[in-house]
Amino acid sequence: MSNHIRHIQAAEGERINGVMKNELLQIIQEYNQGTGGSCGISIVKLCEASGFKIYNVKPLLKELHTDGKIKVREGINSKLIFPLTPKGGIKKTNAK
């Protein structure tokens, strides 16, 4: 396989990961907004809502965490994922 084809495949993989990360972040934000900003989403619910496999979601969540877009907290039964504001606080919204 030529270097040019590898470069194209790598670029396509990065684009797909970017789209998947944006979709995951949108689901996390919508879930949080739907609960009035008080609840995070579990990874199981996130996988069900997105249709992605957990082994694809975990590395993307690590990237979102490193980018400062999400925070993970320990819940009663599992870890919960919350969106972060640009300042680093948990995003609170007023649900109607």
pLDDT over threshold 80, residue 66: yes
pLDDT category at 87 given cuts 50, 70, 90 is: very low
Tokens for 68, please give them: 């400062």
The candidate with the shortest Cα–Cα distance to 38, out of 96, 73, 78, 90, is: 90
pLDDT of residue 84: 92
How much is the mean pLDDT over the chain?
83
pLDDT over threshold 50, residue 15: yes
**Phi, psi of 90, deg, nearest 5:** -75, 135
Distance CA 21, CA 84 (A): 14
Q: Which domains does the chain have, with CATH numbers?
A: 3-83 (1.10.10.10)
pLDDT of residue 85: 73
pLDDT category at 18 given cuts 50, 70, 90 is: confident
pTM above 0.85, yes or no: no
Distance CA 95, CA 35 (A): 7
Strand locations in 1-96 (E): 41-42, 70-74, 79-83
